[in-house]
């Protein structure tokens, strides 16, 4: 019974095939890209959470939370609709 060339020589032949090298490099590149995406999403969410905490802290020191421009718009709209 003939089983073909030894396993070690078949393994060396496959490693030299162009399709195998392309597949190997593509898989490594895909994994690196996926890792980069995961790290980017993690950094984005972390930065968003820190910014949210900063805004909450700023709102705590701003009195009732209304700024002057919002009060001005509300008063102007009241005068506009009442015809004064």
Statement: the pTM of the whole predicted model exceeds 0.75: no
Domain ranges of the chain: 7-82
Q: Which residue has the higher pLDDT, 15 or 19?
A: 19
State the pLDDT at residue 83: 60
Angle at 33 between CA 27 and CA 36, to 5 degrees: 145
The answer to whether the CB of 26 falls within 8 A of the CB of 32 is no
The answer to whether the CB of 20 falls within 8 A of the CB of 14 is yes
pLDDT per residue as tens digits for the range 39-62: 999 999 988 888 777 766 665 555
Q: Is 35's pLDDT higher than 90?
A: yes
């Amino acid at each position: 019974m003939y089983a073909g060339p030894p396993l070690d020589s078949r393994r060396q032949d496959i490693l030299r095939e162009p399709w195998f090298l392309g597949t190997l490099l593509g898989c490594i590149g895909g994994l690196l890209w996926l890792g980069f995406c995961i790290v980017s999403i993690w950094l984005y969410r972390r930065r968003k959470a820190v910014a949210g905490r900063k805004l909450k802290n700023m709102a705590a020191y701003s009195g009732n939370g209304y700024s002057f421009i919002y009060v001005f718009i509300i008063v102007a709209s009241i005068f506009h609709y009442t015809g004064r």
